[in-house]
Amino acid sequence: MQAEIQQLVEMGATPAQARAALRQYSDVMQAAERFFEGAFDHIKGDQDEPMASNSETKRRPRPTTPDADEEMGSDGVQDDDEDDDEGDYIDYDSDYETKAGGGQGIPDVDPYSGIFFSKDRREEVIEVEEQPEVVDIPEVNERVKLMTQGQWMKGCPEGGEQSFLFSLYSQLSEGHCACPHGCGTSVKRKKSNFFAIYSSFLTYTQQLRKIVRQTCKGCDSEFCLACGESISTDRVKRPTAATDDDPLFHCSNLQGVILGVGLSMLEQLFTEQTQEPQEAKEPNSRTPKRRKTDSTPEFDDDDSVYYASVQPAGKKKGGIGYAGDQKEDNTGQLEAQAIQHAKDEKIGNLLKAIRVYLPNLHREGGGQTSDYLVHPTALAHLRRRFNYICSALLRNDSLADMSDRAILYFELLHWLETISNHEALASMMAMPIMIVVSVKSVSVKRSTTNPNLGIRERTIVYEGSSGPRELLEAIAIQAQAALKGLEGVKPQESPQEELTEEQKRMTVDTKGKSKEQAVEVSDENQKLLDFCHRILATANAIDRSLRDTKGDAFVDRLHASLPKLFTTSSVPIHVDAGTTEESARKAYMEWATRVRFEYCDLTIPAEIGSEEENTTPHFKFYYSNEARMLANSDIPKRSLAIAKELAILTTNLPVAWDSSIFLRVDETRVDVIKALITGPEGTPYYNGCYLFDIFLGPSYNQAPPSVKYMTTNGGKFRFNPNLYADGKVCLSLLGTWAGPGWVSGRSTLLQVLISIQSMILCDEPYLNEPGWAQSAGTPQSHAYSANVRRMVVKTAMLGNLKSPPEPFGDIIRTHFRLKARSIATQLDSWLQKDDGKATTADGGGYTMGGAKVDAGGSTNGLKKDVDEMKALLAHLEASKA
């Protein structure tokens, strides 16, 4: 009995209440239902008995069931004067211990400190997979599989949740349901009643609706096959109570099984729709199959399908190549879009059908019984099955793609709003999503109950990842950036003059005769505009609901953990490198991720009283004149392209210890952009800072952006065959180099930046010149790289640190401070590898034309530059500035 007491304790009961409930009801789920109805609230005590749960002895406030007699508030929840700050809903699996509080007698200022938000979790679970039974259902003329216990429990690493799932499955798949009126008659429960996987969710609910309401053959009374309770025809007369009589909302057991089966069907459909078809894979890439023998039970799914939530490897991001005449094949794009739309519609429709059975106190027509009496497995189903789909969809890095798939994403947002609206589910918004990171199969065994069926065990490792609200915030940041882009280039606002009396009369006279011309927005722009507003509205609605259900402390702590988009007006971020390279790497990644994209003021202030004070501003920018010419323009296609671009850039700029990209966008002119790229490891550009001015011109995205390289030592140094001393950038995407060019509507600025990072700032830049492409490892190539290293130290390191270019001063100082020890070691290595030749502005001892240049002796100034650079690094470390 101790195990049953423990289950009730984890649900919020005191040990005394648990024992009292189990004395009256031998079944733990029936006891739990009565406990949630408040039948044992009068029982106190057990102050001297320690709880077996890992959580504190806090009680969760429970939604009131419709058949209670207490007065209800306007929101349909029982009014209670008791202070519930210490009893807010805490997940029943108690995996997160409360760490707040200053000791005995000191109240917690934040009761949620230390819970729900930590992603530093790793769980290893052994899960069992059985071959499913197959039965015929004559009523629908279908041969269906029955969900096994292993499938029902799959994906659940939480001990508390596992016990509830097991209990509900056992209760509904075997035994008898006795008549609640004590006439001695009972009805046998079959697994096919509740766990048959039909061809559609609608068929499942229709079949369930036919059988769940049973009429006793002994006393002719009606009762529910799922919970065994009698069914009363009297409806609760309350404003918030439902007036209809849908049998599928009768009890929490039905809610638990419908959500479990429905979400399992959804997960399977989503996996099938998103996985690459097996026949499309290369034959050599297929997983070798075991030879089937008579003694080996057959399973019709492999690891990659059964555990579809295993996260794939990170996306490869790369630019367009330099050489060759490859052409991109755009045929079949419309067909692919139509196929994607059909898939999204199918998944969206199933999401909509299942959402009807989510606990929802605000549903149209009034709350049902199961809306108030939430089954303990409801949160478990959502966390392990819905979260897999939610995570996959919200990790999409293209806001434009989401907008095109609005039929699916709008339904996903509706789910998140509904979940956040209910006390029993709202905490899920902040809880980390547990994802599968590894699957290890063991040998297949025979079932002891049915020798024809096989069983196999798998060791599954789960790790915590970003929760739903955190994932949504990344999309919300993209939406805000897109809205800024859709505003277009704002014209200068001229001060309004006082109207004369005659002008006022004319205004009155023309009222109704001429209407103010509304700004026309193209259909495509409006579509993205509506989608962005919907995302932001959902994020705000979730936060409002969480404040209502969980309190301000919960939301404040949640917001502190969310990703943020910073501006130059934000409080400066200071990070400590620590004492080890590991701590420095971690600090660098956290810092770079936060500051990689910012809006700032790139204008040049006009002098007070000058003629230019009230004219279009100038910019600290190579393309300032071009930008000023577009000051009053309104080009809808360009605005849409910039909006999509900004949405991608805000959260997808690559950051790493080895190389990062930082962007600064003018806060009023989003077409004015500056970029800083740090040189990649293993190249002669490593750890240097390279600046680019970027302008999204009038034809963007029909034509590529204008890009100018600015780190040239005053126009003296050519760092690469593709980076000229005058700032020209040779890249096929920009139309300045041979190879695949810019594709209207598809190519992006992010591609340009990554191409520069990975293909121009490369390990052997000498080979970027077409005539030298076959000269890898030659003395000429080594000399060229040595010359580049000298230019990098003098200009991209020392020059930028001594006179940091705006607006990257803080970025450059922090970059060198956090990597000071590593860069000092790197400089020593470069000094040893130097060939002693003089630095030439255009080649490592050779000109671009191939003519020999006098090296000029061994004193080339590198050691002096290295010593000065190391001194500045030491000063940065000491000052911590």
Packing angle of the helix pair 252-274, 28-36 (nearest 10 deg): 110
Q: Which amino acid is at 832?
A: Q
Residue (of 569, 586, 568, 564) closest to 577 by Cα position:
586
Structure tokens at 368: 């049902």
Q: What does DSSP say about strands 597-600 and 661-666: parallel, antiparallel, or unpaired?
A: parallel
Output the CA–CA distances (angstroms, integers) from residue 577 to 464, 800, 812, 873, in the order listed. 25, 21, 15, 13
d(CA 241, CA 233): 14
**Active-site residue flag, 532:** no
Whether residue 565 contacts residue 647, with contact meaning beta carbons closer than 8 Å, is answered with: no
Output the CA–CA distances (angstroms, integers) from residue 531 to 401, 473, 480, 541, 642, in the order listed. 11, 15, 11, 15, 16
Whether residue 248 contacts residue 258, with contact meaning beta carbons closer than 8 Å, is answered with: yes
Helix (H, G, I), strand (E, B) or coil at 475: helix
d(CA 11, CA 167): 14
DSSP conformational letter for 758:
I
> At a CB cut-off of 8 Å and minimum separation 6, what does 508 contact?
none
d(CA 261, CA 132): 14
Catalytic residue among 179, 224, 730, 762: 730
Helix (H, G, I), strand (E, B) or coil at 222: strand
Q: Which amino acid is at 171?
A: Q
Q: What does DSSP say about strands 454-465 and 597-600: parallel, antiparallel, or unpaired?
A: unpaired
Q: Please compute Rg for the chain using Cα positions.
A: 33
Helix (H, G, I), strand (E, B) or coil at 60: coil
Helix (H, G, I), strand (E, B) or coil at 491: coil
Whether residue 535 contacts residue 482, with contact meaning beta carbons closer than 8 Å, is answered with: no
Whether residue 424 contacts residue 359, with contact meaning beta carbons closer than 8 Å, is answered with: yes
d(CA 355, CA 349): 10
> At a CB cut-off of 8 Å and minimum separation 6, what does 337 contact?
404
Structure tokens at 412: 């996903």
d(CA 814, CA 807): 13
d(CA 136, CA 756): 62
H helix runs in 307-460, sequence order = 333-355, 369-372, 377-381, 387-394, 399-404, 406-420
Per-position DSSP letters for 79-118, written without gaps between them: ---S--GGG----TT--S------STTPPPS-TTTTSS--
> At a CB cut-off of 8 Å and minimum separation 6, what does 549 contact?
89, 420, 421, 422, 423, 426
Residues taking part in catalysis: 730
